[in-house]
Amino acid sequence: MSDTGKKPGTAPIAHRNLPLLLLKVREAVLAGFRPIITHFGLTEQQWRVMRTLADQPEMEPRQICEAAQILSPSLTGVLARMEELGLVERRRMPEDQRRVLVRLTPRSLGIVARIGPLIDAQYARVEERLGEALLARLYDTLDEVLARDPEAIPTVDLPAVDPDAPR
């Protein structure tokens, strides 16, 4: 295998598909958490908002977007639905009425209290399956990747579009 971990001569691209591998790991791990989340009538995005706000009681929507990795247009709909369900409350900031703070309601705090032990139990199963050392290395590696700001990696220069070339 080459330095990129790919067998020579198997495809025209020299590197393994890192985004796909990360998605596969995400889906494999999330598969154990998804039944817990849906059991409580939540979507994955709603749970991410609740988990985020459980750690920091009030946040602006833009902060929630960043922390929960939800795009702003999606978060608008998620928060509207969560407000309808009595899961979040929004309030205007006194010093700037254009800005809004979002917080969990007592109802959603109760859900977080009930779901928390199940989430922790699932984490214990993940650790049991992967091993404490591998899981610790995985957390460390992911933290290191994020600390290096992968979003700042420049994109390759793209060639001019050839109108006659197949797309």
Q: What is the pTM of this model?
A: 0.83
Instruction: Provide the residue ranges of all domains of the chain, joining segments of one domain with +.
Output: 18-148
d(CA 140, CA 142): 6
Separation in Å, CA 56 to CA 49, 94, 97, 145: 11, 19, 21, 24
pLDDT at 6: 59
pLDDT at 96: 82
Query: Can you tell me whether residue 53 is helix, strand or coil?
Result: helix
Q: Tens-digit pLDDT profile for the chain (167 aa)?
A: 555 565 665 668 899 999 999 999 999 999 999 999 999 999 999 999 999 999 998 999 999 999 999 999 999 999 999 999 999 999 998 888 788 999 999 999 999 999 999 999 999 999 999 999 999 999 999 999 999 999 899 999 998 888 888 77
CATH 1.10.10.10 matches 18-148? yes
**What element of type H or E holds 99?**
strand 96-104
Pairing, β 96-104 against β 88-93? antiparallel
